[in-house]
Amino acid sequence: MNARSVRRWLSLTTLPVSAVAAMTVGMPQAGLAQGDPGPPGAPHAWTLSSDFALHPNQANPNPDSFGNDDVWYFMGSSTLVHDPATYVLLSDFVTDALCVPGIQQWHDPLQCPGPCLGCLPTVGINATGLFQRVMGIRWPANTVRLHPMPSQLAIVGWRSPVGGTVAVEGRFADMDLNCGDGVDWSMDHGALSLAEGSITQGGSQLFSLPEITLNQGEFLYFIVGPRNNFGCDSTALELTITLSEPGCDSAVGEPYCFGNEVLCPCGNGPFPCAGCANSTGQGVTLTALGSASIALDDLVMTAASVPPNQFGIFFMGSATSTVPFGSGLRCVGSGGTGFFRFPIQFSGPLGSMSMGPGVVDLSHAGFPPAGRIVSGDTWYFQAWYRDPSGPCGGATNFSNGLAVQFTP
Where a domain ends, among 221, 243, 265?
243
- In the structure, what pLDDT confidence band is assigned to residue 230 with cuts at 50, 70 and 90? confident
Phi, psi (5° rounding) for residue 181? -125, 25
How many helices (H) does the chain have, and how many strands (E)? 4, 27
- Give pLDDT, residue 270: 75
Is there a single domain that holds both residue 30 and residue 65?
no
Largest CA distance in the chain: 85
Are 279 and 401 part of one and the same domain?
yes
Cα–Cα distance for residue pair 289/219, rounded to 1 Å = 41
pLDDT at 23 over 90: no
Q: Do 157 and 266 share a domain, yes or no? A: no
How far, in Å, CA of 163 to CA of 262, rounded? 10
Q: Please check whether residues 211 and 290 belong to one and the same domain.
A: no
At 179-193, the pLDDT tens digits run 888 899 999 999 999
Q: What is the pLDDT of residue 14?
A: 29
Per-residue pLDDT band at 262 (split at 50, 70, 90)? confident
Assigned domain for 62 exists: yes
- SS3 label, residue 27: coil
pLDDT for 404: 96
How high does pLDDT run on average in the chain?
86
The mean pLDDT value for 260-280 works out to 86
Mark whether 216 and 275 lie in a shared domain.
no
Whether residue 250 is contained in a domain is answered as no
Residues 107 and 131 in one domain: yes
Q: Mark which of 243, 273, 300 sits at the end of a domain.
A: 243
Q: Express each pLDDT in 378-396 by its tens digit.
A: 999 999 999 999 999 889 9
**278 lies in the same domain as 293:** yes
CA distance 325 to 394: 8
**Cα dist from 137 to 117, 233, 321, 406, whole Å:** 12, 10, 40, 54
Which of 29, 40, 23, 30 minimizes the C-alpha distance to 353? 23
One domain for residues 319 and 199: no
Q: Say if residues 300 and 290 touch (Cβ distance below 8 Å).
A: yes
Ramachandran angles phi, psi of 145, nearest 5°: -115, 135
Q: Is the pTM of this model over 0.85?
A: no
353 contacts 383 by C-beta, under 8 angstroms? yes
pLDDT digits (tens, 9 = 90+) for 198-214: 998 889 999 988 889 88
Render pLDDT for 306-345 as a digit per residue (tens, 0 to 9): 999 999 999 999 999 888 999 999 999 988 899 999 999 9
Structure confidence at residue 260 (pLDDT): 76
Q: Which residues contact 265 (CB under 8 A, 6 or more apart)?
A: 276, 324, 325, 326, 327, 328, 329, 392, 394
Predicted confidence at residue 26, as pLDDT, reads 35
pLDDT at 246: 60
Q: Is residue 84 part of a domain?
A: yes
Query: With 90 as the cut, is the pLDDT of residue 13 above it?
Result: no
Query: Which domain does 68 fall in, by range?
Result: 44-243
Q: Is residue 212 part of a domain?
A: yes
Report yes or no on 27 lying in a domain: yes
**What percent of the chain has a predicted confidence (pLDDT) above 90?**
68
Stretch 256-276: mean pLDDT: 85
Q: Could you tell me the pLDDT band of residue 39, with boundaries at 50, 70 and 90?
A: very low
Encode pLDDT of 69-112 as tens digits.
Answer: 999 999 999 999 999 999 999 999 999 999 999 999 999 988 88
Rg value, the chain, Cα: 26
Give the pLDDT score at 231. Answer: 84
* Confidence band of 35 (pLDDT split at 50, 70, 90): very low
Highest mean pLDDT range out of 132-136, 318-322, 353-357? 353-357
Report, as an integer, the average pLDDT of 159-178. 88
CATH code for position 58: 2.60.120.680
pLDDT recorded at residue 287: 95
Task: Write down which residue in 215, 243, 271 finishes a domain.
Answer: 243
Residue 293 and residue 314: Cα distance in Å, rounded?
19
Q: Based on the structure, what is the number of domains in the chain?
A: 2
DSSP per residue, 348-408:
TTTTEEEE-S-HHHHHHHHS-GGG---TT-EEEEEEEEE-TT-TTS-SEEEEEEEEEE-B-
Cα(350)–Cα(181) distance, rounded to whole angstroms? 68
Claim to verify: residue 198 and residue 318 sit in the same structural domain: no
Q: Is residue 226 domain-shared with residue 289, that is, in the same domain?
A: no
> 212 and 77: one domain?
yes
Residue 187: strand pairing partners: 195, 222
Q: Let me know if residue 210 belongs to a domain.
A: yes
Percent of the chain whose pLDDT exceeds 70: 88
Do 85 and 226 fall into the same domain? Answer: yes
Q: Is 281 left (phi over 0), alpha (psi -120 to 50) or beta?
A: left
pLDDT score, position 250: 87
Q: Indicate whether 30 pLDDT > 90.
A: no
248 inside domain: no
Q: What pLDDT does 245 receive?
A: 62
Residue 274: pLDDT band (50, 70, 90) is: very high
In a domain, 251, yes or no: no
If 0-12 CB within 10 Å is exposed, 13-18 middle and 19+ buried, where does residue 301 land? Answer: buried
- Give the model's confidence band at 15: pLDDT under 50 very low, under 70 low, under 90 confident, else very high: very low
Q: How confident is the model at residue 21 (pLDDT cuts 50, 70, 90)?
A: very low
pLDDT at 33 over 80: no
pLDDT tier at 215 (50, 70, 90 boundaries)? confident
Distance of alpha carbon 232 from alpha carbon 120, whole angstroms: 12
pLDDT higher for 188 or 5?
188
Average pLDDT over residues 49-65: 95
Alpha helices in 112-181 (DSSP H): none
pLDDT at 272: 76
Residue 39 amino acid letter: P
How many Å separate Cα 204 from the centre of its chain?
27
